[in-house]
């Protein structure tokens, strides 16, 4: 699964929304390159081999950032069990996402992955006891209908592999909720690096058992997945320094454009009309959620202080 918004949003810089939007779009392109390169590699190589190389090159980008935020001291935590459970979850997501991509069209899998914010809205009611109004519940239902339109259960077009990106969407939503909880007490470095180190540790054990000699193109693609994952994370992090989430969130869905383009260029795959209809429902649902969040934020700002 893409490593979007893995850390708490850092303090904002001077408002520069055009720059924030540009960084957001570049971040989404970079994350789609990660997925496309990963999908290309796992046609011939095991996901464990990809995740090992991907994790190594991602850490080359993320570790220097962690050093600038305090280095090893920032990894101290009073909640090791919470980090351990999150790490197990992200390891599961790293494998299920790329296993799914190995068999599924890139655009359709990306669309299902973009249901994560809708899953997060639903889970926030259970986990965080947040109030969700009827419009946002309607958006959640609409998004899940869009997911079912893409998956087409009960028809000859149904592929059980679609359950993997569904798991990824739900798991990523859960992961992001734990980010919100841990960000109250834990450092950005701890929240970000522990899961990545877990992926590396699991892959370091599994990869030698399935290792195949790498061609130069395969090695380059695996390196590209890691470098783009790290760079994409930084681009998205900096985007939120220059523009508020309500401005940037709609640009999440530019990922569908890039996923469709890369799917066509690299794999000769284009969504059919039914899949396009499902993707449209998911985008519409996400935009409704974004709109309601923006309205709620304006109401909070407009309340006079006592």
Residue 2 domain-assigned (yes or no): no
Indicate the average pLDDT of the chain.
83
Residue 7 domain-assigned (yes or no): no
Model pLDDT for residues 125-166, shown as the tens digit of each residue = 777 677 777 888 888 899 999 999 999 987 877 888 999 999
Residue 204 domain-assigned (yes or no): yes
Residue 10 domain-assigned (yes or no): no
Residue 191 domain-assigned (yes or no): yes
Model pLDDT for residues 62-75, shown as the tens digit of each residue = 777 677 666 666 67
pLDDT at 278: 93
Model pLDDT for residues 219-234, shown as the tens digit of each residue = 999 999 999 988 887 8
**Could you list the residue range(s) of the whole structural domain that residue 50 is in?**
17-299
Three-state secondary-structure class, residue 93: helix
Model pLDDT for residues 66-109, shown as the tens digit of each residue = 776 666 666 777 778 888 888 899 899 999 999 999 999 999 99
Q: How many domains does the chain have?
A: 1
pLDDT at 228: 92
140 and 118 Cβ atoms separated by less than 8 Å: yes
pLDDT at 4: 47
Model pLDDT for residues 245-291, shown as the tens digit of each residue = 767 778 888 899 999 999 999 999 989 999 999 999 999 988 888 87
C-alpha dist (Å) from residue 262 to 33, 35, 176, 257, 288: 8, 9, 27, 9, 27
Residue 246 burial (CB < 10 Å; 0-12/13-18/19+)? middle
117 and 144 Cβ atoms separated by less than 8 Å: no
């Amino acid at each position: 699964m893409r490593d979007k918004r893995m850390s708490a949003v850092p303090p904002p810089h001077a408002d520069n929304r055009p720059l924030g939007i540009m960084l957001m779009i570049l971040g989404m392109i970079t994350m789609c390159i990660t997925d496309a390169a990963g999908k290309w590699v796992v046609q011939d190589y095991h996901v464990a081999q990809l995740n090992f190389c991907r994790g190594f090159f991602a850490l080359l980008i993320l570790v220097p950032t962690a050093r600038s935020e305090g280095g090893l001291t920032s990894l101290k935590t009073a909640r090791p069990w919470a980090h351990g459970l999150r790490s197990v979850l992200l390891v599961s997501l790293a494998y299920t996402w790329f296993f799914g991509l190995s068999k599924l069209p890139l655009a359709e899998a990306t669309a299902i992955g973009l249901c994560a914010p809708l899953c997060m809205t639903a889970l926030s009611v259970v986990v965080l006891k947040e109030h969700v109004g009827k419009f946002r519940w309607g958006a959640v239902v609409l998004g899940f209908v869009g997911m079912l339109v893409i998956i087409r259960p009960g028809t000859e077009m149904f592929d059980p592999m679609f359950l993997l990106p569904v798991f990824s969407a739900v798991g990523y939503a859960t992961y992001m909720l734990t980010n919100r909880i841990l960000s109250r007490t834990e450092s950005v470095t701890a929240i970000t690096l522990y899961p990545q180190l877990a992926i590396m540790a699991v892959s370091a054990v599994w990869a030698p058992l399935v290792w195949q000699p790498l061609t130069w193109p395969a090695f380059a693609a695996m390196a590209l997945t890691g470098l783009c994952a790290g760079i994409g994370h930084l681009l998205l992090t900096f985007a939120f320094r220059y523009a508020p989430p309500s401005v940037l969130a709609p640009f999440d869905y530019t990922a569908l454009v890039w996923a469709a383009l890369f799917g066509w260029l690299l794999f000769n795959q284009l969504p059919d009309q039914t899949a396009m209809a499902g993707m449209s429902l998911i985008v519409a649902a996400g935009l409704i959620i974004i709109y309601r969040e923006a309205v709620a934020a304006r109401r909070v700002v407009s309340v006079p202080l006592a």
